[in-house]
Amino acid sequence: MPLKTLALIPAYNEEVRIADVLRGIRQHIPHADILVVNDGSTDRTREVALRGGARVTSHPFNLGYGTALQTGYKYALMKGYDELVQMDGDGQHDPSSIVYLLAVIQKEEADIAIGSRFLEIQGIGSATPPYRAPLMQRLGMRLFGMISSLLIYQKVTDPTSGFQAMNRRVLECVSTNRFPCDYPDADVIIMLHRAGFRIREVPVVMFENRDKKSMHSGWKPLYYVFKMFLSIFVTLMRK
């Protein structure tokens, strides 16, 4: 019996990109259902997603990336999905990489597969242009990548990746109140490791942010670093 798969896309004001993302998902995993969590968008994200054949649930106002993800996780549990793949709605995540993430879950090689933009894909190599993150984002990736690597005893190259696939057991874990509501990054990797889940990074293709919109702009990097350190500390204090 085939696994029941959900593709989850948290989206905030993505009417320009969301249709292309939906077409890419349909092309590479046509058997999957697609859920767009419209996180209080003020544009036509909801209408474009519905027209593209996705199921859409909407927040009344913007609640944040982590909350949008958890809305999708709880939906997946309620509807009985066996596996979930999550990706952003801005076109940065290449839908062709979905199959690599899901393959790891379906072969039971890991409980959660995290897409890394910094690992080389076999057969592509130098044909894939290197991902160039802004300086502050790059420093944050390296810092929390090192911390995560030390704490989970395996190399973590892309702790901020939102391109992931997971099985139902992980879904049950991240649907609890332990999941952070704003920046679910290195702290979630550490939490899942401490909960006994097998984690694997998988090389994927990601594109640079074409409109330069980022959750790490302005003063947000300082808040992000403070909040991530606090969240990691709380995670380590929990049983």
Q: Average pLDDT for residues 120-125, to the nearest whole number?
A: 63
In the predicted model, what is the mean pLDDT of the chain? 90
Q: Average pLDDT for residues 61-82, to the nearest whole number?
A: 96
55-59, strands of its sheet edge to edge = 55-59, 33-39, 5-11, 83-86, 164-167, 112-116, 199-203
pLDDT at 186: 95
User: Is beta strand 5-11 parallel, antiparallel or unpaired with respect to 83-86?
Assistant: parallel
Provide the whole-model pTM.
Answer: 0.90
pLDDT at 185: 93
Instruction: Dump pLDDT digits (tens) for 91-111.
Output: 999 999 999 999 999 999 999
* 15, pLDDT greater than 70: yes
The conformation of residue 153, written as its DSSP 8-state character, comes to T
Are 99 and 5 in contact by the 8 Å Cβ rule? The answer is no
Residue 43 Cα distances to 18, 39, 62, 67, angstroms: 12, 11, 12, 19
**Lowest-pLDDT choice from 3-12, 61-70, 210-219:** 210-219
Q: Average pLDDT for residues 19-28, to the nearest whole number?
A: 97
Q: Average pLDDT for residues 40-59, to the nearest whole number?
A: 97
Please report, for the chain, the start and end positions of each structural domain, with discontinuous segments joined by +. Answer: 5-237
Greater pLDDT, 79 or 237 = 79
Nearest to 98 by CA among 174, 3, 35, 5: 5
Query: What's the fold here for domain 5-237?
Result: Spore Coat Polysaccharide Biosynthesis Protein SpsA; Chain A (3.90.550)
Q: Tell me the C-alpha distance between 170 and 174, whole Å.
A: 6
Percent of the chain's residues with pLDDT above 70: 90
Greater pLDDT, 9 or 220 = 9
* 77, pLDDT greater than 70: yes
* 132, pLDDT greater than 50: yes
pLDDT at 210: 60
Q: Average pLDDT for residues 43-65, to the nearest whole number?
A: 97
